[in-house]
Amino acid sequence: MTRELLELERDEHRVLAAVEFVDATSGARIAEPLRVAPADPADASRWLRNRGGLLVLWSHPALAAHAAAFGTPPALPALGSVALALRVADPAGRYQARAFTLALPRDPDPAHAAQAGSLFRPQRVELFRSAAAPLVGNWTPLHVRVAEAGGDLLGGTLIEVRGAGDALLARGSTDWRGEALLPVAALPITTWGADDGDVVVTETAATVHAFHVAALGTRTPPAWVADGRAPALAPCPDPDVLGSHPQRVAATPQPVALAARRGARVALTLTLP
C-alpha cells in the first residue's frame, strides 16, 4: 500500500555567509555572545547565530535574489564585489572591539569549498584579548603602552611581536588608554643558546612593533586617562589593514626578552604628522 503525503508548507532559504570569531592567541572559537553591527547604520542586513556558534548572514538587500536561488544563483553582483563593513564588540569586555569586512557574494561552487571565499567556509575573524582578560597559566603576558611624542595616549594601534626570522609570535591592539595586553603562547621554558658560552637559555629574544593610523585610532590626553574619561568614540580599527595602510606610522621596533610565564612591559612612542 502506497501512502500519499500532502505538503502543507515549505520554507526554503539560502544563507549568504557565515563568520567565525576566534581567540587570536589560542585560535579557539569564541562561544560567548558578541555584539555585531554594520558600520553603516542604514544597513538592513539580518544576522542569526546558529547552534555551532557561527554568526550567519540570513539576508542582505543587495543579495535579495540569492535568498531563494539554490542550483543557479544569480550571476550579478559578481563574486566578492559587495563589501559589507561590520563591527564586533564583546559586551563582557574580554575582547577588544574591531572592524572587519565581509566580501559578498561568496563562491557557491562546491568544488571551491576549500578556498577562503567559499560560501561553505565561514570567514575567520580574530579577536584580541583586552587588558582585563584572563590568561592561561603558561602564557607570557606582554603589556604594551603606546603614546604620541607629545604625550597623548594612542588607541587603536596595532601591536606585533616578532621572534627569530621575523616569525609572528603575537598580535594585539591598544585600547583608548593606549594600553594592550598581548599573551604570547608556546614559549619554550628553555632553548638552545645562540652564543658559545650558553648551552641553554630561558629567554626568547623578540621585537615589538607598533603601527598607527590617525584616522582610524584615538588620541587621549594623559589627564583624561588618569581621570577615566574615555573619548566619545572608542577605537574600533580593522587590524588586518592597519599594518599595510598607506597612512600608517610605525614606531621604532623595541627589543624585549621574553620568558615563559614571566611578564614584560614595553613603552613605545610614535611621532604623528
Q: Return the pLDDT at 199.
A: 47
Q: How far apart are CA 193 and CA 198, in angstroms?
A: 5
Q: pTM for the complete prediction?
A: 0.85
User: Domain 140-270 belongs to what topology?
Assistant: Immunoglobulin-like (2.60.40)
**Chain-centroid distance, C-alpha 28:** 13
Q: Return the pLDDT at 203.
A: 81
Give φ, ψ of 210 to 5 degrees.
Answer: -135, 135
Q: Return the pLDDT at 14.
A: 77
Amino acid at 253: P
Grouped pLDDT means (10 residues each) for the chain, 273 residues: 68 82 94 90 89 90 81 84 94 94 91 91 95 81 94 96 93 95 82 55 87 95 94 91 94 92 92 89
Q: Return the pLDDT at 76.
A: 87
DSSP E strand stretches across the chain = 17-23, 35-38, 46-49, 55-59, 82-89, 98-104, 123-127, 140-148, 153-155, 158-162, 168-173, 179-184, 191-192, 200-201, 204-212, 218-220, 249-250, 254-258, 264-270
Q: Return the pLDDT at 273.
A: 83
Q: Are 100 and 45 in contact (CB under 8 A)?
A: no
Q: Return the pLDDT at 198.
A: 55
Helix (H) or strand (E) segment spanning residue 239 = helix 239-242
**Chain-centroid distance, C-alpha 21:** 8
Q: Return the pLDDT at 245.
A: 95
Q: How far apart are CA 124 and CA 54, in angstroms?
A: 10
Using the structure block, give the residue that is written with the C-alpha cell 555567509.
17
- What are the Cα distances from residue 210, in Å, to 11, 54, 81, 187, 265? 50, 31, 31, 21, 14
Using the structure block, give the residue that is written with the C-alpha cell 547552534.
51
Q: Are 258 and 204 in contact (CB under 8 A)?
A: yes
- What are the Cα distances from residue 142, in Å, to 170, 176, 179, 194, 201? 10, 18, 11, 23, 19
